[in-house]
Chains A and B, each alone.
Chain A
Amino acid sequence: MASNFNQGGGNGRGDDGAQQRPPEWADGLKQLYDSVVEEALPDSFKDLLDRLDALDPARGKGAARDGRDTSQ
């Protein structure tokens, strides 16, 4: 999705509801966003959720973050 370099076809495709045609750089904005979405996810996020999952939700008020290293 970061590779939709649609040249020649122009930017005439459907807009997201804006009253005006999107500017030339509109695809670039999506590319910036999508390039991050498509990045490999660091393990730290999954580890954090796994640790939270192992806790009682009532006690999980954000204290889980510091206790441990993010590695297993």
Chain B
Amino acid sequence: MSDGPANDERQPGGSLSAIDKASFKRELTDVVPHLRAFARGLCGRPDLADDLVQETLLKAWAAQDRFEPGTSMRAWTFVILRNAYLTDMRRNRFRGEYDEGVAERILTAPAGQEEPIHLSDLHRALLTLPAERREALLLVGAGGFSYEEAAQICGCAVGTIKSRVGRARAALTEMLANGSIPRRASDDAVAHSAILEELDEVAAGNGVSSRP
């Protein structure tokens, strides 16, 4: 993730040199596929996810003076993306719909399990999780971030991230084992309102501590 060279010519607080600007653009371009993957995992629908990525790119560009060369562009932009997502969630833009496209793909049946796990089931199950747990699991389990990095991205303690990931894993394992996955968008309304409740807590500043 750290493919960015540190540029010493950068003036703190000043305008960026042409070299910095070019490398910023290159690094930002390089992380777009990851932003799309993270956004898709968060909000499910590809079109909305891409809108979110565009919004993230605009915000990242406007804030480029605050990016420190040599640090992880992926982590930096993920923070921007998640904040944009939380804001949009509060505006009720996302409905927790899932990507029909993945329904075609089937994951190889794990040993000892009769039914193969469908990626579409996994994705739907993921979208039913509370937003905080879902993003924690995405960052660590899919994005490959360490717990420490994920904690920095989410602005919470490492222990909180570990707890969220553990609970997310347990919930998914149970849902997949029981087949108790909400079918479609109509059922997702339940999950969606649960997510919004969570977000109210987050917005009220209780996000970290209120999660048991």
B70 within 8 A of A: no
Residue B78 at the chain A interface, CB threshold 8 Å: no
Residues of A within 8 A of B (CB): 5, 7, 10, 16-20, 22-39, 41-42, 44-46, 48-49, 52-53, 57-58, 60-62, 64-65
Cβ-defined contact, B37 with A61, below 8 A: no
Q: Check A16–B146 contact: CB distance below 8 A.
A: yes
Chain B stretch 109-157: residues in CB contact (< 8 A) with chain A: 110-111, 113, 117, 119, 122-123, 126, 137-138, 140-144, 146-147
Q: How far is the CA of A42 from the CA of B33 in the complex (A)?
A: 10
- 9-residue interface stretch from B4-12, B168-176, B191-199: B168-176
**B164 → chain A closest CB, angstroms:** 12
Contact A29 B58 (CB under 8 A): no
Could you tell me if B126 and A36 are in contact, using CB atoms closer than 8 angstroms?
no
| Binding site secondary structure of chain A | helix
Contacts of B203 in A (CB 8 A): none
The residue from A31, A37, A44, A62 contacting B33, defined by CB atoms under 8 A apart = A37
Contact between A38 and B173, CB atoms less than 8 A apart: no
* Chain B residues within 8 Å of A25, by CB: 107, 110, 117, 122, 172-173, 176
Verify A33–B102 contact, CB threshold 8 A: no
- Any chain A CB within 8 A of the CB of B48? no
Please, how many angstroms separate the alpha-carbon atoms of A33 and B35 in the complex? 10
Please, how many angstroms separate the alpha-carbon atoms of A45 and B35 in the complex?
11
Tell me if B81 counts as interface (CB < 8 A to partner A).
Answer: no
B79 contacts partner chain A, Cβ-Cβ < 8 Å: no
Name the one of B59, B65, B141 contacting A22, with C-beta atoms under 8 angstroms.
B141
